């Protein structure tokens, strides 16, 4: 059984390859080489039909991870070129090569901000180009599936994914907490659904082995959800030190975010602070993942274990190499 992972050189793809490589024939197709699995990697672009048509020949299963996902991608048309048009190109290549199995990584961003525990059938209301493009990609896939009833598809909508070597929003938050540079915007009672990378890739393996027909859509997060105050408390316990925190009112945090927006525009540099990130930080971003956890899947790690493993790896026992993955 051959699995082609599109966009597998990154954070999630690397862990997925590590998990699957002993049980499946794996090929990673990405714009860049894999730092851990170069021997399994071919350089390719999901936006180029000729490449996908040729590279997916002989494939049994496609896992579509390739995406533009940062908050600050410019021009914004890149979100749609990769996330939407890339989906069309991949589906055409699947049809040409007779591939009947797809796993697609979408996102909880399709629901928008401050939604109360959205379920898989909750209405889409994306607030940014990333979420809008992921929703459009899902619509393209569903339309295609309506005339391809013999294809099995799984759509995953994971919440923010974190773990060792990741340099995304969760790492930035943990890094600020660990270094005593953290300022809480708001009261810290907003809850965040999160997914440890070791669990989400295990769920992918689970659905590959259990979903056998039709199209299934799953939200994915690990619970129970932490609020920001509890996350700081966990960091204190794992790191063995008191973490000072300063609480800023929401309006002041947003004002600071707009200042950084202006600085980024003036300097033409991508900064770690922005109004969008402040807004996302202060929002309660929770999801209902009951469906995923009702499939018989047992996560190998609790959320607390995943956060503890990440804190220990990054701030207590850092690795001698400098291989990291930059995401949101």
Q: Tokens 């410019």: give the residue.
A: 74
Res 151 pLDDT > 90: yes
Kindly report, residue by residue over 64-86, the tens digit of the pLDDT.
Answer: 999 988 777 888 889 999 999 99
The sign of the torsion formed by the CA atoms of 239, 272, 29, 38 equals negative
Q: Are the beta carbons of 91 and 141 closer than 8 angstroms? A: yes
In the chain, what percentage of residues exceed pLDDT 90?
74
- What average pLDDT does range 238-263 have in this prediction? 89
Nearest CA-CA partner of 175 in 235, 115, 265: 235
The sign of the torsion formed by the CA atoms of 257, 251, 175, 280 equals negative
Kindly report, residue by residue over 159-207, the tens digit of the pLDDT.
Answer: 999 999 999 888 988 998 888 878 888 888 888 899 999 999 999 999 9
Alpha helices in the chain (DSSP H): 11-20, 49-55, 77-83, 85-97, 129-145, 169-178, 197-210, 228-239, 250-267, 275-282, 290-293, 303-311
Tell me the CA end-to-end span of the chain in Å, nearest whole number. 32
- The answer for residues whose C-beta is within 8 angstroms of residue 216's C-beta and 6 or more apart is 153, 154, 155, 207
Calculate the average pLDDT of the chain. Answer: 93
Res 24 pLDDT > 90: yes
- pTM comes to 0.90
pLDDT band, very low/low/confident/very high, at 315 (cuts 50, 70, 90): very high
- What's the token pair of residue 89? 């190109």
Q: What are the residues facing 158 on neighbouring strands?
A: 220
Report the range of poorest mean pLDDT among 80-94, 180-194, 257-271, 302-316.
180-194
- What average pLDDT does range 46-58 have in this prediction? 98
Res 215 pLDDT > 90: yes
Res 288 pLDDT > 70: yes
Angle between helices 275-282 and 169-178 (to 10 degrees): 80
Q: Is 24 a catalytic residue?
A: no
Predicted pLDDT at 278: 85
The pairing of beta strand 191-196 with beta strand 222-227: antiparallel
Give the three-class secondary structure for 242.
Answer: coil
Predicted pLDDT at 248: 87
CA separation for the pair 180, 212 (Å, rounded): 49
* Cis status of the peptide bond prior to 75, with omega within 30 of 0: yes
CA separation for the pair 67, 296 (Å, rounded): 29
What's 39's DSSP letter? G
Q: Which of 79, 80, 111, 130 is catalytic?
A: 130
Q: Is 240 exposed, middle or buried (CB count within 10 Å of its CB: 0-12, 13-18, 19+)? A: exposed
In the chain, what percentage of residues exceed pLDDT 70?
100
- What's the token pair of residue 295? 């499939």
Nearest CA-CA partner of 158 in 103, 100, 239, 231: 103
Nearest CA-CA partner of 24 in 85, 139, 115, 103: 103
Length of the chain equals: 328
pLDDT band, very low/low/confident/very high, at 328 (cuts 50, 70, 90): low
Domains, the chain, in order of start with CATH, read 2-163+193-224+287-301 (3.40.50.720)
């Amino acid at each position: 059984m051959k699995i082609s992972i599109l966009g597998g050189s990154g954070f999630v793809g690397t862990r997925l390859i590590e998990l699957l490589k002993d049980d499946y024939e794996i090929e990673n197709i990405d714009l860049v080489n894999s730092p851990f699995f170069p021997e399994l990697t071919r350089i390719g672009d999901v936006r180029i039909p000729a490449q996908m048509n040729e590279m997916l020949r002989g494939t049994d299963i496609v896992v579509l991870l390739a995406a533009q996902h940062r908050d600050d991608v410019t021009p914004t048309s890149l979100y749609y070129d990769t996330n939407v048009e890339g989906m069309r190109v991949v589906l055409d290549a699947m049809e040409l090569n007779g591939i009947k199995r797809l796993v697609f990584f979408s996102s909880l961003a399709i629901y928008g901000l401050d939604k109360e525990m959205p379920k898989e059938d909750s209405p889409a209301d994306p607030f940014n180009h990333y979420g809008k493009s992921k929703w459009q990609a899902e619509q393209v896939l569903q339309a295609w599936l309506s005339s391809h009833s013999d294809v099995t598809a799984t759509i995953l909508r994971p919440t923010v994914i974190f773990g060792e070597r990741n340099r995304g929003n969760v790492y930035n938050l943990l890094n600020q907490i660990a270094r005593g540079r953290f300022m809480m915007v708001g009261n810290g009672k907003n809850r965040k659904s999160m997914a440890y990378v070791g669990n989400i890739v295990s769920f992918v393996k689970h659905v590959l082995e259990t979903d056998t027909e039709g199209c299934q859509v799953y939200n994915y997060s690990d619970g129970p959800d932490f609020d920001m105050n509890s996350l700081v408390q966990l960091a204190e316990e794992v790191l063995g030190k008191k973490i000072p925190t300063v609480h800023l009112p929401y309006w002041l945090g947003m004002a600071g975010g707009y200042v950084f927006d202006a600085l980024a525009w003036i300097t033409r540099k991508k900064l770690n602070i922005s109004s969008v990130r402040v807004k996302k930080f202060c929002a309660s971003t929770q999801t209902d993942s009951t469906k995923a956890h009702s499939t018989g899947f047992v996560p190998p790690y609790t959320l607390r274990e995943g956060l503890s493993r990440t804190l220990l790896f990054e701030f207590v026992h850092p690795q001698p190499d400098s291989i990291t993955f930059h995401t949101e």
